[in-house]
Amino acid sequence: MNIIVCVKQAPDIEKSVKIAEKIIDEGSDFVLNPLDEHAVKEAVNIKEKMGGKITALTLGPERAKQALLRCLARGADEAIHIKTDTTYNFDSTVVSVVLAEKIKTLPFDIILFGSKSVDTNSGSCGVQIAKILDIPCVPEIIKLEIGQEKAVVIRQMDGGEETVECLLPAVFTCQKGINELGLLRLPEILQAKKKPLIIENLSQNISSTSEIISLEFLPERKSGLIIKGSPEEQVNELVIILKKQGIPGG
Amino acid sequence: MEKILVFTEIKSGVITKLSIEVLGKARELADKYGKKVVGLVLGNDFNNFSTPIDSLARFGVDEFLLAESDKFADYNSEIYGKIICGEIEKLKPQIIFFGSSKIGRELASQISAKFLSCCFQDCVDVDIENDFLKAKRLVLAGKVFAILKSKCSQFQVATLQQGIFQSKIVEKDAEMTRIDIPADLTSRIVRKEFINRSSGQVSLLEAKIIVSGGRGVKSAENFKILEALADVLNGAVGASRGAVDLKLRVSDDQVGLTGKTVSPQLYIACGISGASQHLAGITRAKFIVAINSDNEASIFKIADVGIVGDLFEIIPLLTKALKNLKGEK
Ligand SMILES: Cc1cc2nc3c(=O)[nH]c(=O)nc-3n(C[C@H](O)[C@H](O)[C@H](O)COP(=O)(O)OP(=O)(O)OC[C@H]3O[C@@H](n4cnc5c(N)ncnc54)[C@H](O)[C@@H]3O)c2cc1C
Ligand SMILES: Nc1ncnc2c1ncn2[C@@H]1O[C@H](COP(=O)(O)O)[C@@H](O)[C@H]1O
């Protein structure tokens, strides 16, 4: 099985994200997009059962190499870094076109994605790339079983879970719950640095499909009032506060 | 006249509320900028719909395209995508709207890739500026609003978030046109099973008040006390990933980064620690109340009001107090 995992380096949302006008400030902390890490883990699970090779692929700036190293530590065999600036960061369609062009030059049976990246919050790339490559896609999967020619997967839908059978090659995007990540061990981290990491420069100039007009933080939340007292007193005070807000209504 | 195409979603023979909202927004933009709204609906056996298909006519659409086939009984992304792409090629709409359901989001991505256009997901506002779509949406784990503008002159795609846009009922009936369905509709994806896991309550996306429970609620049974509180408040019950992981609630109820992004007037978090991935789903809540036994829980850092206490004591007392209050009115 040739497995490609598309991964993105994204801001660490557990830390404070900074913005420089219309882009994410480079002073922010960046990590491998959490759901993409689950996608890599899923690739490793498939490889353990079926054998094969895992290639991690990213389009991103210099720093994105760190995300690839994490994939290699998680068990990817090689990594490809298509270097670019951050112009296309919020333009899923352009990102998908570039990645699809590269994927066309590689052998693949399965292409895995995270179900969405924390910065764009779009969840578009996997579905888009499948369409460009004209292969089937099942997004937001929480279970994957690979056979020789097809896969049986469970995807999250509104109001339930759908089990489908899907012919390979195919794209799957991984949703939270698909697998559990163990802690990375030092030898794995060290070994990652010895694995092949291919760097290419994005040569084509692609016209954007959209532009950012503005990025604006929502008003910051601060800790408010902590109600003290016995449970009865606490509840009474809360009810007074809620009443002022018109709750409960009629 | 340039066209706005709206994919209209049908669920168990009923047009979804979200779709009616999207049609309403499309109508508003069409009136403002002199465009035509075309609805597209895929379904099976229109004659046996729970709402007569004619009722679609009044939701603000100029023309409705009806695609009927037993192939559309269950959702299939490849078959639906093929029909929609085919119609788009014929109509050449300037803008294509979907509701931001899982189906809508998937189809929107597919269509944008086919026509290499922009794809704005989960918009909370949309407008048109010199024929280019402008969209407002949450990015960066709900911390930031992005305003984006399309650079494509055609096939601009967006999905609209539920519970934000106003539906419209108009006097004029839409023209109903049946479209031809290609005979060779096959898919590489086949549904084997659909397990219904909806809690059947008011949608979290529409609820003005949400009572949400986390791992601290401890059992599915215990969620009854949250339901009782939600009942008095006419609200809905949400959950953290922690609660979903423990199978206390279905994933449809999950709020957060990998669940729903909600925007109620009041969000009551009970036994939820306040992990950043949970907070990503509630950044637009107007007022947040937290009930947690650990005074150091992160949820208190963002809550407007916090009660350090045992939720099993506090919630029943709160429910009772609010019930009494309602009784007085
Ligand atoms: C990629 C990724 C995506 C994720 N997406 C989401 C998401 O969409 N939504 C989400 O919620 N999480 C998400 N998570 C998980 C998140 O990181 C947390 O693990 C999760 O939110 C914790 O759930 P919790 O607060 O219910 O549980 P815990 O963190 O275990 O908190 C339980 C709380 O209950 C309190 N408590 C216990 N007993 C009582 C009592 N009797 N009375 C009052 N309080 C009590 C405790 O003090 C504690 O604070 C995601 C994580 C990752 C890595
Ligand atoms: N620049 C990128 N390079 C490689 N993969 C990406 C990139 N951007 C997005 N992806 C993949 O596409 C998924 C969805 O991204 P998005 O559509 O931006 O939410 C991510 O979880 C990644 O798996």
| DSSP-assigned states of every residue in A99-145 | HHHHHTTS--SEEEEES--TTT----HHHHHHHHHT--EEEEEEEEE
Of A93, A138, A232, the CB nearest to B317: A232
Question: What is the number of the ligand closest to the CA of B294?
Answer: 1
- Minimum distance, in Å, between the CA of residue A156 and any CA atom of chain B: 8
Of B114, B288, B310, the CB nearest to A131: B114
Count of residues for chain B?
Answer: 329
- Using CA atoms, how far residue A96 sits from A4, A33, B181, B229, in Å, is 14, 16, 30, 46
CB B268 within 8 A of CB B291: yes
Instruction: Note the pLDDT of residue B249.
Output: 96
Question: What is the number of the ligand closest to the CA of B255?
Answer: 1
**pLDDT surpasses 80 at A249:** no
The pTM (predicted TM-score) of the whole model is 0.97
Q: How far apart are the first and last CA of chain B?
A: 54
Q: What is the rounded CA–CA span in Å between residue A184 and residue A192?
A: 11
Tell me if the bond preceding B182 is cis, omega within 30° of 0. no
**pLDDT surpasses 90 at A248:** no
> Do residue A214 and residue B140 have CB atoms under 8 angstroms apart?
no
Q: Where are the beta strands (DSSP E) in chain B?
A: 3-8, 10-11, 14-15, 36-43, 63-68, 95-99, 119-123, 125-129, 132-139, 144-150, 156-160, 175-178, 189-196, 209-213, 236-239, 266-270, 287-292, 305-308
- Minimum distance, in Å, between the CA of residue B98 and any CA atom of chain A: 14
Instruction: Note the pLDDT of residue B200.
Output: 72
**Best of B79, B137, B156, B258 to mutate (most A CBs within 10 Å, chain A):** B258
User: By the CB < 8 Å criterion, does B147 face chain A?
Assistant: yes
* Confidence bin at A250 (pLDDT 50/70/90): low
> Do residue B113 and residue A235 have CB atoms under 8 angstroms apart?
no
Of B105, B302, B308, the CB nearest to A123: B105
Contacts of A86 (CB under 8 A, 6+ apart): A23, A24, A60, A61
Residue nearest to atom 21 of ligand 2 (CA): A114
ipTM greater than 0.95:
yes
Closest by CA to A155, choosing from A136, A183, A182, A135, is: A136
Give me the mean pLDDT over the A62-90 stretch. 96
Does any ligand 2 atom lie closer than 6 A to the CB of residue A123?
yes
Instruction: Note the pLDDT of residue B329.
Output: 63
Give me the mean pLDDT over the A21-40 stretch. 95
CB B120 within 8 A of CB B135: yes
Ligand 1: which residues within 6 Å by Cβ? A 34-35, 176; B 214-216, 240-243, 254-259, 271-273, 275, 277-278, 281, 291-294, 297, 310-312
Instruction: Note the pLDDT of residue B172.
Output: 83
Instruction: Note the pLDDT of residue A148.
Output: 86
- Minimum distance, in Å, between the CA of residue A58 and any CA atom of chain B: 19
Q: Give the DSSP letter of residue B221.
A: T
Instruction: Note the pLDDT of residue B58.
Output: 87
Low-confidence ranges of chain B (pLDDT < 50): none
Question: What is the number of the ligand closest to the CA of B258?
Answer: 1
**pLDDT surpasses 90 at A1:** yes
Measured between CA atoms, the residue of chain A closest to residue B146 is A215
Q: What is the rounded CA–CA span in Å between residue B308 and residue B318?
A: 14
User: What is the average pLDDT score of chain A?
Assistant: 96
**pLDDT surpasses 90 at A32:** yes
Structure tokens at A184: 């990375």
Does any ligand 2 atom lie closer than 6 A to the CB of residue A92?
yes
Helix axes B102-114, A125-133, angle to 10 degrees: 50
Instruction: Note the pLDDT of residue B266.
Output: 97
Measured between CA atoms, the residue of chain A closest to residue B247 is A177
Instruction: Note the pLDDT of residue B295.
Output: 97
Q: What is the rounded CA–CA span in Å between residue A235 and residue A229?
A: 9
Instruction: Note the pLDDT of residue B217.
Output: 98
- Note the Cα A54 to chain centre separation in Å: 17
- For residue B321, how far is its CA from the centre of ligand 1 (angstroms)? 27
Instruction: Note the pLDDT of residue B327.
Output: 82
CB neighbours of residue A117 within 10 Å? 25
